[in-house]
């Protein structure tokens, strides 16, 4: 592999680079990123008995580990005078100079092992394979992606080199040609906008989109399913590949605030010239509980990605609240024929030591005039 070849890594997985140190010796190296590699990320050294050291530089890209995106970087060895290695003879020795691209997110160790045993990697198999399901959703890696219409967000992908079309019933709807893109980029498809545009122009509601390569090959199919019951609550989270996804919450939300234990402190009492015990004000956390309802095995497993996510939100009546989530269920997949719902516990990140009555639906902060009578008959838990 030459110095001009680009190697790909996911920021959330090990980023292993080989460096020539000399036998039983050490060498200095630097890692750069930014425009024209102008930003120095690291300056250190590596040691090896055999002559080649392997270093993991993933810690330098930890900010990209949870967010989709692309960052170009390079590793270069440094001579005894502090000068970066220069490939004057264009020999392309990748032990002295390595250019690589870091993509946001990561994949599980289990999938890594499966891909290694198949002689592949996540880029060859999925992310940079226009003939597969290359989208950054973790709902499924299968070639049929089923999404309820009220959970449909922008579907994102890494675009450079891709050339594909969206088809419905054999008709080409949209063409996406990135075959001449000079650099890698994160792009997105707004299926809601496409559906609305077709509905306006042709009076047809499209619910199935076939993704086909420019040469007629099949990549995957997006199936948007009808929602028969309106949902007021959703779980929104950033998935392992670094993009936002939504899961609807079925039924009612239960509100169960958690209160701290009452504690006491000693304060000086001027009347008796002595210290007395005084109760401190409690704190409380807003805790809500809901169910994701009866889901397929694949949809239930999708919830695991939400449970391990660093960034989660409870969407309630049009508002979003940062939360921590957990479940009181340990059953995610079963061969039993009876479906079991999964309960989700939402804990708002804010801790409060004050209480304020919440505004009702008809009583907006900027909402009513002085003489207007406010009425509200619609009660929903939360905000």
Per-residue tokens: 196: 């609305």
- The confidence score (pLDDT) of residue 68 equals 97
Give the model's confidence band at 4: pLDDT under 50 very low, under 70 low, under 90 confident, else very high.
Answer: very low
Overall average pLDDT of the 221-233 stretch? 90
* pLDDT tops 80 at residue 333: no
Query: Mean pLDDT lowest for which of 13-22, 61-70, 97-106, 273-282?
Result: 273-282
CA distances from 209 to 51, 121, 135, 147, 205 (A): 53, 27, 13, 12, 11
Is residue 332 within 8 A of residue 341, CB to CB? The reply is no
- The confidence score (pLDDT) of residue 48 equals 94
Q: Which residue has the higher pLDDT, 372 or 81?
A: 81
Is residue 277 within 8 A of residue 244, CB to CB? The reply is no
Among 160, 123, 7, CA closest to 75: 7
- The confidence score (pLDDT) of residue 335 equals 62
Structure confidence by residue, pLDDT tens digits, 122-150: 999 999 999 999 999 999 999 999 999 99
* pLDDT tops 50 at residue 219: yes
- Rounded Cα gap, residues 340 and 5, in angstroms: 50
- Rounded Cα gap, residues 83 and 29, in angstroms: 10
Prediction pTM value: 0.85
- The confidence score (pLDDT) of residue 10 equals 98
**CA torsion through residues 86, 1, 5, 46, sign:** negative
Helix (H) or strand (E) holding 298: helix 297-307
Structure confidence by residue, pLDDT tens digits, 7-57: 999 999 999 999 999 999 999 999 999 989 999 999 999 999 999 999 999
Among 31, 21, 93, CA closest to 57: 31
* pLDDT tops 50 at residue 368: no
Work out the burial of residue 135: count CB atoms within 10 Å of its CB; fewer than 13 is exposed, 13-18 middle, 19 or more buried: buried
If phi over 0 gives left and psi between -120 and 50 gives alpha, with beta otherwise, what is residue 317? Answer: left
- The confidence score (pLDDT) of residue 220 equals 97
- The confidence score (pLDDT) of residue 323 equals 93
- The confidence score (pLDDT) of residue 370 equals 52
- The confidence score (pLDDT) of residue 283 equals 84
Give the model's confidence band at 285: pLDDT under 50 very low, under 70 low, under 90 confident, else very high.
Answer: confident
CB atoms within 10 A of CB 364: 10
What angle is formed at CA 310 by the lines to CA 312 and CA 13, rounded to 5 degrees?
140
Structural domains of the chain ordered from first start: 6-106 (2.60.40), 122-225 (2.60.40), 233-352 (no CATH)
User: How do 319-327 and 343-352 pair as beta strands?
Assistant: antiparallel
- The confidence score (pLDDT) of residue 318 equals 78
Helix (H) or strand (E) holding 131: none
User: How do 218-225 and 144-148 pair as beta strands?
Assistant: parallel
* pLDDT tops 70 at residue 361: no
- The confidence score (pLDDT) of residue 372 equals 54
Is residue 209 within 8 A of residue 191, CB to CB? The reply is yes
Is residue 212 within 8 A of residue 165, CB to CB? The reply is yes
* pLDDT tops 90 at residue 341: no
* pLDDT tops 60 at residue 336: yes
Q: Which residue has the higher pLDDT, 99 or 336?
A: 99
Overall average pLDDT of the 311-321 stretch? 89
**What is the per-residue DSSP string for 311-374?**
-EEEEETTEEEEEEEEES------S-SS----EEEEEEEEEES---PPPPTT--TTT--TTPPP
Highest mean pLDDT among 117-126, 300-309, 318-327: 117-126
Give the model's confidence band at 275: pLDDT under 50 very low, under 70 low, under 90 confident, else very high.
Answer: confident
**What is the per-residue DSSP string for 77-98?**
EE-TTSPBP--TT----TTTEE
* pLDDT tops 80 at residue 331: no
**What is the per-residue DSSP string for 133-157?**
---S-SS-SSSEEEEEGGG---EEE
């Amino acid at each position: 592999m030459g110095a001009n070849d680009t190697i790909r890594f996911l920021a959330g997985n090990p980023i292993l680079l080989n460096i020539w140190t000399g036998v039983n010796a050490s060498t200095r190296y630097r890692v750069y990123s930014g425009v024209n590699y102008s930003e120095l990320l690291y300056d250190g050294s590596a040691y090896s008995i055999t002559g080649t050291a392997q270093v993991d530089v993933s810690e330098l890209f930890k900010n990209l580990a949870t967010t989709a995106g692309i960052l170009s970087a390079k590793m270069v060895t440094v001579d005894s005078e502090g000068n970066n290695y220069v490939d004057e003879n264009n020999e392309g020795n990748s032990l002295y100079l390595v250019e690589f691209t870091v993509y946001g997110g990561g994949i599980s160790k289990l999938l890594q092992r499966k891909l290694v045993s198949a002689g592949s990697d996540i880029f060859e198999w999925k992310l940079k394979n226009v003939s597969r399901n290359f989208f950054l959703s973790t709902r499924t890696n299968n070639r049929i992606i089923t999404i309820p219409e009220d959970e449909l967000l922008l579907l994102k992908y890494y675009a450079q080199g891709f050339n594909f079309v969206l088809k419905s019933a054999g008709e080409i709807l949209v063409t996406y040609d990135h075959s001449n893109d000079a650099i890698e980029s994160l792009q997105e498809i707004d299926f809601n906008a496409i559906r609305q545009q077709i509905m306006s122009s042709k009076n047809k509601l499209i619910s199935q989109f076939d993704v086909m390569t420019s040469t007629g090959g099949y990549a995957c199919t997006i199936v948007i399913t009808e929602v028969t019951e309106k949902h007021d609550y959703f779980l929104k989270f950033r998935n392992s590949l670094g993009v936002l996804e939504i899961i609807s919450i079925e039924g009612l939300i239960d509100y169960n605030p958690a209160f701290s234990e009452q504690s006491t402190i000693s304060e000086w009492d001027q009347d008796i010239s002595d210290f007395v015990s005084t109760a401190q004000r409690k704190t409380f956390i807003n805790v809500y509980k809901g169910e994701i309802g009866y889901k397929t095995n694949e949809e239930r497993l999708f919830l695991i990605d939400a449970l391990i996510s660093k960034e989660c939100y409870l969407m309630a009546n049009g508002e979003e609240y940062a939360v921590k989530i957990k479940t009181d269920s340990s059953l995610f997949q079963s061969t039993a024929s009876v479906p079991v719902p999964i309960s989700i516990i939402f804990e708002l990140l804010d801790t409060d030591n004050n209480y304020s009555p919440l505004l009702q639906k008809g009583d907006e902060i900027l909402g009513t005039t002085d003489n207007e009578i406010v009425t509200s008959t619609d009660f929903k838990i939360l905000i």
